Amino acid sequence: MSKRRFLSAEEIELVINAAAKRTTGERDQCLILIAFIHGYRISELLSLKFSDIDFKSQNIYIRRSKNGFSTIHPMLNRELVLLLEWLKVRLTYKNSQQCPYIFMSIRGGVLSRKQAYNIVKSAGKESGIGIETYPHMLRHACGYALADRGVNTRLIQDYLGHRNIRHTVRYTASNSKRFKNIWSNVNHD
């Protein structure tokens, strides 16, 4: 397996599809997609509560750690669908009514960092992408995916909650698409 710090958007889809086939598929694919879409650190994601989601306005409050910039993100339709599917299954879990956190274990407790790590790692392995996956790769994948979509560095900085833009530049600096038309208006004499 090769070592890399991020996954491509295509690889994320393969990992989500692999997670969907598991016994805990609703939870696992929802966890992976939300981590990717919002660039969550795993500790931030595991502290996500029902009170952080406004289903009516379809917004999610992103509480950043590491002195990061917390903000509100809009939720994607696909994300809402997966979240609602997970929440239906979640109702069958022990202590589901008492647990304020979105992601919980089958046994009824808050999902641990180790469990989340194993979810991402095993879904990555089952996807067949040939890359050893871990949760922080989803955060990096978000930054690179936004850069690939042409989102400017400053907006990516705010989206990921970076206080210092130096942490954000890595995503846009490696984006080869920004050079695509650099020679298009040059006279080649």
Catalytic status, residue 5 = no
Q: Which of 5, 66, 149, 178 is catalytic?
A: 66
Q: Which of 22, 64, 136, 170 is catalytic?
A: 136
Catalytic status, residue 136 = yes
Q: Which of 139, 140, 144, 159 is catalytic?
A: 139
Catalytic status, residue 149 = no
Catalytic status, residue 41 = yes
Catalytic status, residue 167 = no
Pick from 77, 80, 101, 79: nearest CA to 90:
101
- Asked if 148 and 27 touch (Cβ cutoff 8 Å), the reply is no
Residue-by-residue DSSP string for 148-179: HTT--HHHHHHHHT-SSGGGTHHHHHT-GGGG
Pick from 57, 93, 62, 58: nearest CA to 78:
58
Rounded (to 5) percent helix, strand, coil in the chain: 50, 10, 40
Residue-by-residue DSSP string for 94-110: TTTTT--BS-B-TTSSB
Q: Which of 41, 90, 144, 159 is catalytic?
A: 41
Catalytic status, residue 170 = no
The catalytic residue positions are: 41, 66, 136, 139, 162, 171
